[in-house]
Amino acid sequence: MCLDAPAEFLGKPIRFQWNPCETQHHLQLRKRSYFRSAPMEIAFQCLHTEPSICNKAERAFQKAGKTIASTFLFKEPVRVNATMMSFCQVTGECGKNMMTLGGSSPARAIPLLNSDGMTRLHPQALVKQFGLTDHPAFAPFDIIGIFNADAPFWFEEDNVPIGRNQADFSFVILHELMHGLGFYSGWNEYIGPHMITPDPSPFLANQLMLSINPGTTAIHPSQFLESAMDRLMTDEKRRFLSEHTRELNRMEAESLEALVVDPRFKAVQSVSEFATEPGTLGIQLSKEEWVVLETGLTPFQPGSSISHVAYSEYTHTPDFLMRFMQDRGLTLQEAVQRGEGKGPIGPLLLRIFEEMGYATVNRPDTVPPLMLFRSGIQKNQRLDKGTLTSSMAIHNSPTLLYLFFYLLIVLIY
């Protein structure tokens, strides 16, 4: 089973759905070049957008794709479905002081068993780079994104200074494409306010997702699923949040009501406190390297909290790109110069992607953090002990879960 974005994704919030994605076998794998990346391919469309703006936006996307492919070493092409549209006319978002510039998401998330024995949801763009002989079927696109034609975007090709209330479009799309490649956390307020958990869709569907290690035959059940990046997330004392997820996956609550009153669930909710206290969560790259995530927003902001780097920490550094809010009146190149970086994709951001398993010009020989796997779905034994069901059981009664685009916003006066 794979978690898919809908074919039509113009409304908010976005509803993702579990769908069958049968295993495919490839007899021949494309050889990786240590010097050349496969391209990022852009399928671009506009709705309720001036043709001149649409054309400039498409050219900016093509340039952004080349920038990314010059830093990452993609074994397989990454395909992006991007739409520029009037949020006012399509979604009714008009005249707000806090304006959404754009949003993106993986088109498909695929559960894979990591080397630490936990099953996590991996963006399809990443899974395609692993070179797996057997893998779940891939969707036509890897990343979907929408961008606001009403926003005061500045385009590099305009050859005029950026206005003080404008946002550099290249900045926005590079940021959003990083989310589509996997820079996001699976921890969110799915169950309710102040109750942050990983994706609970198997639990809410009364299902267990089983991943089996063929080397040891060990069975790894999951009812809460982290994102691929969550494997690296720790609190300020460098304790991995995945230990909380393991506890959730061991719980046998018979209902959501029983879950939230369980003392073990209440212990997990320390993450909810961390998520709104500055400097309490981060990405552990090594003993010395800890990337501080955005936990300074109160209340918790789905799509912004945790899934970005700390705004106050990285604004004047080479790793400015993945803050939740963009600077008004500042071009991408000026932001690079301000942070004394070599390009828009900073060194710590690139290290995070390398640890997730992407090959880059700096590390062309990354090893995927996976176990060989085969996975299946089992009806939760709390209701029907020992009964196995096929993936079709979920397909016929799909579980719809509200997830969130990862949004970049700018304050307009």
Tell me: pLDDT of 9 over 60: no
> Looking at residue 138, what is its pLDDT?
93
Between residues 218 and 303, the one the model is more confident about = 303
- Residue 376 pairs in a beta bridge with 210
In this prediction, residues 173-201 reach a mean pLDDT of 94
Average pLDDT, the chain: 85
- The share of the chain scoring above pLDDT 70, in percent, equals 84
* Cβ pair 88, 94 in contact under 8 A: yes
Q: Whole-angstrom Cα distance, residue 301 to residue 272?
A: 12
Which segments of 18-98 does DSSP mark as H helices, in order?
51-69, 87-91
Strands 2-4 and 108-113: antiparallel
Which segments of 96-168 does DSSP mark as H helices, in order?
124-127
* Cβ pair 119, 370 in contact under 8 A: no
Judged by phi (left if over 0) then psi (alpha if -120 to 50, else beta), residue 227 lies in beta
> Looking at residue 410, what is its pLDDT?
59
Q: How many C-beta atoms lie closer than 10 Å to residue 112's C-beta?
A: 25
* Residues contacting 64, CB < 8 A, separation 6+: 40, 170, 173, 174, 177
Which segments of 45-162 does DSSP mark as H helices, in order?
51-69, 87-91, 124-127
The Cα-based distances of 388 to 249, 384, 391 in angstroms read 18, 9, 10
pLDDT per position as a tens digit, 24-51: 766 444 555 556 899 999 999 999 999 9
Between residues 206 and 80, the one the model is more confident about = 80
CA 324 to chain centre: 13
Q: In what order do the strands lie in the sheet with 119-123?
A: 226-227, 119-123, 108-113, 2-4, 14-19, 400-403
- The share of the chain scoring above pLDDT 90, in percent, equals 63
> Looking at residue 289, what is its pLDDT?
94
Domain spans, the chain:
1-18+32-233+326-413
Q: Tell me the pLDDT band of 93, cut-offs 50, 70 and 90.
A: confident
Expressed in percent and rounded to 5, the helix, strand and coil fractions of the chain are 25, 30, 45
Q: Whole-angstrom Cα distance, residue 305 to residue 321?
A: 15
> Looking at residue 162, what is its pLDDT?
97
In this prediction, residues 196-208 reach a mean pLDDT of 89
In this prediction, residues 219-238 reach a mean pLDDT of 94
pLDDT per position as a tens digit, 238-296: 999 999 999 999 998 889 999 999 988 988 888 999 999 999 999 999 989 999 999 99
Q: Whole-angstrom Cα distance, residue 94 to residue 100?
A: 10
Kindly report the pTM of this predicted structure: 0.89
* Residues contacting 239, CB < 8 A, separation 6+: none
Query: Which H or E run includes 227?
Result: strand 226-227
Q: Is 189 helix (H, G, I), strand (E, B) or coil?
A: strand
